[in-house]
Amino acid sequence: MAQLWGGRFTKETDKLVYNFNASISFDQKFLKEDIEGSSAHVVMLAKQGILTAEEKIEILNGLDSIRKDVEEGRLKITDEYEDVHSFVEANLIDRIGDTGKKLHTGRSRNDQVALDMKLYTRNQIDEMDGLVKQLLETILKIMEENTETYMPGFTHLQKAQPITLAHHLGAYFEMFRRDRSRLSDIRNRMNTCPLGSGALAGTTYPLDRDYTAELLKFENGPTLNSIDGVSDRDYLIEFLSAMATIMMHLSRFSEEVIIWNSNEYQFVDIDDAYSTGSSIMPQKKNPDIAELVRGKTGRVYGALISLLTTMKGLPLAYNKDMQEDKELTFDAIDTTKGCLALFTGMLATIKFNKKNMETSARNGFTNATDAADYLVKHGVPFRDAHGIVGQLVLYCIDKGISLDEMTLEEYKNISPVFENDIYEAISMKTCVEKRVTVGAPGPEAMHDVIGRYKQYLQ
């Protein structure tokens, strides 16, 4: 058991206690960041004359050789070390002797772990942003190809008004675009360096915290309160919340893919590479990927609630409870990144059955509002027009036909205002094309928005 703190103890730690307390099994995930942070610390210590130039070089080389040996498989991280910090320090001392014992000068594991987790999270935010961007590119490509693919728009999962596939997917573009902007806000807000906060009260060494922050690319400088520096986990809660929102968006999209892929809808065919079969029913091709994405959303929500609950009762400053921030955040990150990548792959290969979408938009009176608007344009007050079209719909349901299939005579029997141009007024093309305001499905409005999205992605 390699520990950093045996001095004031007279007994060995109980084995169960040791295992319960240890974090090496999961915090080895940020070995690279731990070494990056230690290296910056050492460079700063030397600049301040706290270490000599020779000591600095010896320690930096030692740290680098540890990183390389782990990465290239020559050095194994084992559970004889309490955590990744102990692993690095013990190995450094093994390699370079007494100079290695100076690494931890003016530092505590409290500010060290706060730094490591921030460095790790910042990298992960960047990777996550890249994945969301790829998803947006995939959505935009489908939008560009489908500005005239008609489909029913729904409210209450009931057919409402005709829209286009481009318009429908544009809603998801907006959601994931907001997700990116949330990630960028979080990255900016968390971009302060906690190193130098010490255990909680700073240190008596003349550290140059601005310099350390600069070396580690913390654009907003050092944290300004050492107590908060070691005990702030807000950025993780914000990141978990952003991931929970990304998952919620992916889950809604998955739900639609599942519905659209159902035998009843047949709006889409999921590619064989992204579907699975049944062990008993030979005909089955199931949307398991979409279902798993929907299912895993709960896990990420759980992580958010878990960390909020862990933090809610903690007095200042550091408490060991905070070690619990890691596994759940790592899991949420891996889950969200995995879901983003898989969903993007599924969407990029999905086949849209345009004919079925259009047929579905034709049946279901999605043009009823436009029929009422036709009457309004001919002088009928909207409320009366609404009532008249209600009667038309009732008549059609009774006869098993759509509004387009009624004869002019049948129209006139219900209202004499109708003329031959009603058919054009309620055609699918008109219904969509007449919707010209910003954000509406009309092709001109849509092309304008697509242009803006393209610019945004550049």
User: Which residues of this protein are in contact with ligand ARG, per CB under 6 A?
Assistant: 23, 27, 83, 109-110, 113, 318, 320, 322-323
For 170, residues 6+ apart whose C-beta sits below 8 A from its C-beta are: 143, 446, 449, 453
| Amino acid symbol at 303 | A
Residue closer to ligand ARG (CB basis): 159 or 233:
233
Quote the CA–CA distance of 197 and 9 in Å, as a whole number: 26
Helical segments of 350-381, H only = 354-362, 368-377
Residue closer to ligand ARG (CB basis): 114 or 361:
114
Quote the CA–CA distance of 325 and 337 in Å, as a whole number: 18
Instruction: Please report how close the Cβ of residue 110 comes to ligand ARG at its closest, in angstroms.
Output: 5
Residue closer to ligand ARG (CB basis): 271 or 327:
327
Instruction: Please report how close the Cβ of residue 436 comes to ligand ARG at its closest, in angstroms.
Output: 57
Residue closer to ligand ARG (CB basis): 3 or 251:
3
Hey, is 155 helix, strand or coil? strand
Residue closer to ligand ARG (CB basis): 236 or 428:
236
217-254: burial string, b at 16+ Cβ within 10 Å, e else: ebeeebbeebebbbbbbebbbbbbbbbbbbbebbbebb
Quote the CA–CA distance of 403 and 382 in Å, as a whole number: 18
Positions annotated as catalytic residues are 156, 278
Of 361, 379, 381, the C-alpha closest to 432 is 361
Quote the CA–CA distance of 326 and 72 in Å, as a whole number: 25
Residue nearest to ligand ARG (CB): 323
Which pairing describes strands 158-164 and 268-269: parallel, antiparallel, or unpaired?
A: unpaired
Residue closer to ligand ARG (CB basis): 83 or 179:
83
Q: Which residues, in sequence order, are bridge partners of residue 351?
A: 269
Instruction: Give the residue carrying structure tokens 């009928």.
Output: 380
Instruction: Please report how close the Cβ of residue 333 comes to ligand ARG at its closest, in angstroms.
Output: 16
Instruction: Give the residue carrying structure tokens 């159902």.
Output: 262
Instruction: Please report how close the Cβ of residue 87 comes to ligand ARG at its closest, in angstroms.
Output: 11
Residue closer to ligand ARG (CB basis): 322 or 432:
322
Quote the CA–CA distance of 310 and 322 in Å, as a whole number: 7
Residue closer to ligand ARG (CB basis): 228 or 288:
228
284-312: burial string, b at 16+ Cβ within 10 Å, e else: eeebebbebbbebbebbbebbebbeebbe
Hey, is 275 helix, strand or coil? coil
Record the tokens describing residue 420, joined without a space: 């031959």
Of 2, 9, 198, 30, the C-alpha closest to 93 is 2
Instruction: Please report how close the Cβ of residue 22 comes to ligand ARG at its closest, in angstroms.
Output: 8
Instruction: Please report how close the Cβ of residue 56 comes to ligand ARG at its closest, in angstroms.
Output: 25
Instruction: Please report how close the Cβ of residue 65 comes to ligand ARG at its closest, in angstroms.
Output: 24
Instruction: Please report how close the Cβ of residue 161 comes to ligand ARG at its closest, in angstroms.
Output: 53
Instruction: Give the residue carrying structure tokens 């995939």.
Output: 138
| Amino acid symbol at 18 | Y
Residue closer to ligand ARG (CB basis): 190 or 322:
322
Of 370, 351, 349, 360, the C-alpha closest to 425 is 370
For the range 238-242, what are the long-range contacts, defined as Cβ-Cβ under 8 Å and sequence gap of 24 or more? 238/186, 238/189, 238/190, 239/121, 239/124, 239/125, 239/183, 239/186, 239/190, 239/329, 240/300, 240/303, 240/304, 240/307, 240/328, 240/329, 240/332, 241/304, 242/179, 242/182, 242/183, 242/186
Using only C-alpha atoms, what is the Rg of the chain?
Answer: 31
Instruction: Please report how close the Cβ of residue 230 comes to ligand ARG at its closest, in angstroms.
Output: 9
